Amino acid sequence: MEMLGLENVADPADGPYPQLSAEYLISADPDFILLADTICCGQSAESISERPGWAALTAVAEGDVIELDDGVASRWGPRIVDLIRTIAREVYGTG
């Protein structure tokens, strides 16, 4: 995310794999949400907007929920380039 000039709201949380509460995320109010569980778990911009309090998040309210391909987002290596391009295209309109 840093390479793209973005800041991960989970970075200040404790541990390498923090479990973020709904309250934490609502308090952080991210500008973008990257969903990496669209295929495996059927998550979408619509489904997360139905979670309590999430409709008020800036990313949800402004339509800045980026639905990623799980296979690319969760299997790094050469695919990281594809992931970065996808995020850059969605955030900046480039990539």
Q: What does the pLDDT profile of the chain (95 residues) look like in tens digits?
A: 889 999 999 988 888 888 899 999 999 999 999 999 999 999 999 999 999 999 999 999 999 999 999 999 988 889 899 999 999 999 999 75
Which is the CATH superfamily of the domain at 28-95?
Nitrogenase molybdenum iron protein domain (3.40.50.1980)
- Answer for the pair 73, 34: CB distance below 8 angstroms, yes or no: yes
Q: How far is CA 2 from its chain centroid?
A: 14
- CA–CA dist 20, 58 (Å, integer): 17
Domain boundaries, the chain: 28-95
Q: What is the pTM of this model?
A: 0.88
Q: How far apart are the first and last CA of the chain?
A: 14
